[in-house]
C-alpha cells in the first residue's frame, strides 16, 4: 500500500511543480503590489501543500514568508521567495534527471 501511495505522489509531482512555479509568480506579483494579505494567504496554502508532498524545507520557507507578510517585512518576504524558488527549481531539476535516468 505504501508503494502505491508513493507511486501516486510521484505521478503528481510534475503537476505540483508546475502549480508551485505559478504560485511563485503570483507571490512576486503580490510583492510588487505590496499586497501583504494575498502574500500571507498564498504562503499559508503553499506551506500546507509542500508539507503534504513531503517537502518540509519548502513548507518551512513558506511559513517564513507567511510570518514576514504578517509583519509586512517586504525585504524578508523577497529573500524567502528567492530561497523558495531556488529550492523548487533544484528539486524540479532533480526530478527530471531521475525520470530521464529511469525512462530515458
Residue 2: predicted pLDDT: 67
- Exposure string for 1-15, b = 16+ CB within 10 A, e = fewer: eeeeeeeeeeeebee
Q: What is the mean pLDDT of residues 68-92?
A: 97
Instruction: Find the distance separating the first CA and the last CA of the chain, reported in whole Å.
Output: 27
Instruction: Please give the mean pLDDT across all residues of the chain.
Output: 91
Q: In this model, does residue 102 exceed pLDDT 90?
A: no
Range in 34-48, 68-82, 85-99 with the lowest mean pLDDT = 85-99
Higher per-residue pLDDT: 35 or 6? 35
Does the structural domain 2-97 have CATH classification 1.20.120.160? yes
The 3-class secondary structure across 30-75, one letter per residue, is HHHHCCHHHHHHHHHHHHHHHHHCCCHHHHHHHHHHHHHHHCCCHH
Amino acid at each position: 500500500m505504501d508503494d502505491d501511495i508513493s507511486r501516486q505522489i510521484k505521478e503528481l509531482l510534475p503537476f505540483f511543480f508546475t502549480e508551485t512555479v505559478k504560485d511563485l509568480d503570483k507571490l512576486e506579483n503580490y510583492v510588487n503590489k505590496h499586497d501583504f494579505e494575498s502574500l500571507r494567504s498564498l504562503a499559508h496554502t503553499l506551506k500546507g501543500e509542500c508539507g503534504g508532498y513531503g517537502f518540509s524545507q519548502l513548507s518551512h520557507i513558506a511559513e517564513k514568508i507567511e510570518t514576514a507578510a504578517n509583519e509586512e517585512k517586504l525585504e524578508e518576504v523577497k529573500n524567502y521567495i528567492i530561497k523558495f524558488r531556488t529550492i523548487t527549481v533544484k528539486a524540479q531539476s532533480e526530478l527530471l534527471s531521475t525520470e530521464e535516468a529511469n525512462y530515458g
